[in-house]
């Protein structure tokens, strides 16, 4: 049934995961990779590399994504990317211009795909890899098999850098997820979410009762909690990379990446996209860390509200998870303290909803913090790497 994906180096559905021998599916050499773009054979389309340091070209990417990117099943909401969040997610350390690929018809950008370099660990194997995102085809050009061509072209330019693996996610089922997560949502402004049709009224419910259910204190409670600053980069680097070792599939962050993903000071004139907090103990040691980013959704049809401001839980870490053996009740207590404070901060910064996936140790706090399951699932995929199913871990950047 998967005409294109059946030809790609990914595990297929008729294989038995218990028998998977973990590792790459296809071995190639850079000298065997074509230096010519994949043929488009489709008039009037042509390939373009987008220069995102050029504000006009960035505006074109913004335009196609904001008009044609991911919507919910009922087409009520569509992800809405600010200039700042696009810079943050597409121009991370080591980014390459040639990994920002478009298809133009005349002067119009009508399709896009991108990748960034990342270091990914699958169990014990750390790989220089790529993260593919923002695959988008103009609504009027759907179903014309442009997606496979875009995927083949990004594969080619990634391969030219001597990189053979990729991680990517999607709401659609393809051969073959290595992990599957569910989205959870925690209302911060319940009334607004109700008015735009995101949150239903429970049977026999009342507005005031719902609002009371989601009410939060004004102030955070964790002693020593404060916003992360430049001086905390080493402390966070150390803590987070140790914490991520708890999981079977996780990124390995360089110091530069810690700065980029959690402080994002490169985009000085831009709007704030990421909020990061640390807990410093009496000896000046960073013992805990959490972060969330802002991604708006356009409300396609509501007379009253034009967008929803969503906070997405990003990475976190706590020393409490690093004692051996890990005491689950202690970790559960600590994560609930930290996430309770994250919600208070998100509310303070005017977020309407706080989202988290069922990844990392999130199961320990989702229910207690009044998150509810959404309809959306997020499937994680590895390209050219066969791995047995992975229950925990995974890369939180893939919510972007
Ligand atoms: C998808 N999301 O199954 P088969 S996520 C991958 N990811 O192939 P056509 C997808 N493949 O079944 P359309 C996919 N969606 O025949 C569909 N496909 O094997 C497959 N939506 O192509 C599909 N963005 O061009 C089928 O489909 C083939 O015109 C059909 O275009 C699809 O960014 C799409 O949801 C998604 O803009 C572009 O619907 C379009 O419908 C669209 O006829 C709204 O394509 C936005 C949206 C996707 C968000 C994302 C991650 C993408 C990962 C791509 C795979 C990367 C692999 C690694 C490469 C590097 C390797 C190295 C090293
Ligand atoms: Mg198409």
**168-220 confidence digits (pLDDT tens):** 999 999 999 999 999 999 999 999 999 999 999 999 999 999 999 999 999 99
ipTM over 0.85: yes
Q: How far is the CA of 112 from the centre of ligand 2 (A)?
A: 11
Sketch out the chain's domains with CATH numbers: 5-170 (3.40.630.30), 180-399 (3.40.630.30)
Which atom number of ligand 1 is nearest to the Cα of residue 129?
63
**264 falls in which pLDDT band (50, 70, 90)?**
confident
Residue 393 has pLDDT above 70, yes or no: no
User: Confidence band (pLDDT; 50, 70, 90) for 267?
Assistant: confident
Rounded to 5 degrees, φ, ψ at 332 are -60, -45
Q: Answer positive or negative: Cα dihedral of 104, 81, 398, 280.
A: positive
Q: Report the chain's mean pLDDT, rounded to a whole number.
A: 95
Q: What is the pLDDT of residues 348-368, one digit of tens each?
A: 999 999 999 999 999 999 999
pLDDT at 375: 86
Cα 159 to Cα 154: distance, rounded to the nearest angstrom: 8
User: Are the C-beta atoms of 86 and 61 separated by less than 8 Å?
Assistant: yes
Distance 151 CA to ligand 1 centre (A): 8
- pLDDT computed for residue 43 by the predictor: 82
- Residues 62-67 have a mean pLDDT of 96
**pLDDT above 70 for 392:** no
What's the pLDDT at 400? 73
What count of Cα atoms within 13 Å lies in the side-chain half-sphere of residue 86?
24
Residue carrying structure tokens 């499937």: 379
Give pairs for 213-220: CB < 8 Å, separation 24+. 213/370, 214/186, 214/187, 214/188, 214/190, 214/370, 216/188, 216/343, 216/344, 216/347, 217/344, 218/344, 218/348, 219/344, 220/341, 220/344, 220/345
* pLDDT the model gives residue 287: 98
DSSP string covering 2-36: -TTGGGSSS--TTS-GGGPPPB-S----GGGS-SS
Q: From the CA of 383, which ligand is nearest?
A: 1
Using an 8 Å Cβ cutoff, are 236 and 227 in contact? Answer: no
370 alpha carbon to ligand 2 midpoint, in Å?
40
Residue 25 Cβ < 6 Å to ligand 1: no
């Amino acid at each position: 049934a998967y005409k294109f994906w059946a030809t790609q180096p990914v595990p297929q559905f008729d294989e038995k995961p218990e028998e998977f021998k973990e590792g790459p599916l296809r071995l190639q050499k850079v000298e065997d990779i074509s230096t010519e773009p994949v043929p488009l054979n489709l008039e009037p389309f042509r390939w373009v590399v987008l220069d995102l340091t050029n504000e006009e070209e960035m505006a074109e990417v913004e335009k196609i994504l904001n008009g044609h990117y991911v919507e919910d099943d009922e087409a009520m909401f569509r992800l809405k990317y600010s200039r700042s969040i696009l810079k943050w997610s597409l121009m991370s350390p080591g980014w390459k211009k040639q990994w920002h690929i478009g298809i133009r018809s005349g002067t119009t950008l009508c399709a896009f795909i991108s990748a960034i370099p990342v270091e990914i660990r699958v169990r014990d194997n750390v790989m220089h890899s790529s993260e593919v995102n923002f695959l988008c085809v103009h609504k009027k050009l759907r179903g014309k098999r442009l997606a496979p061509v875009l995927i083949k072209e990004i594969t080619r330019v990634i391969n030219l850098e001597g990189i053979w693996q990729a991680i990517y996610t999607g709401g659609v089922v393809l051969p073959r997820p290595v992990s599957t997560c569910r989205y959870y949502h925690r209302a911060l402004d319940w009334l607004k979410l109700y008015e735009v049709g995101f949150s239903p009224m429970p049977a026999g419910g009342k507005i005031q009762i719902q609002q009371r259910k989601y009410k939060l204190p004004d102030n955070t409670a964790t002693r020593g909690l404060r916003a992360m600053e430049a001086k905390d980069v080493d402390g966070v680097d150390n803590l987070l990379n140790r914490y991520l070792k708890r999981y079977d599939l996780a990124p390995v962050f360089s110091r530069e990446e810690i700065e980029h993903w959690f402080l994002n000071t490169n985009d000085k004139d831009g709007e704030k996209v990421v909020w990061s907090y640390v807990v410093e103990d009496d000896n000046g040691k960073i013992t805990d860390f959490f972060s969330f980013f802002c991604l708006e959704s356009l409300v396609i049809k509501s007379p009253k509200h034009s967008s929803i401001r969503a906070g997405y839980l990003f990475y976190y870490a706590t020393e409490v998870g690093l004692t051996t053996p890990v005491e689950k009740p202690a970790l559960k207590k600590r994560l609930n303290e930290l996430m309770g404070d994250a919600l208070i901060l998100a509310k303070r910064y005017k977020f309407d909803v706080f989202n988290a996936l069922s990844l990392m140790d999130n199961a320990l706090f989702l229910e207690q913090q009044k998150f509810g399951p959404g309809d959306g699932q997020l499937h994680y995929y590895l390209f050219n790497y066969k791995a047995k199913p992975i229950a925990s871990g995974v890369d939180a950047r893939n919510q972007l």
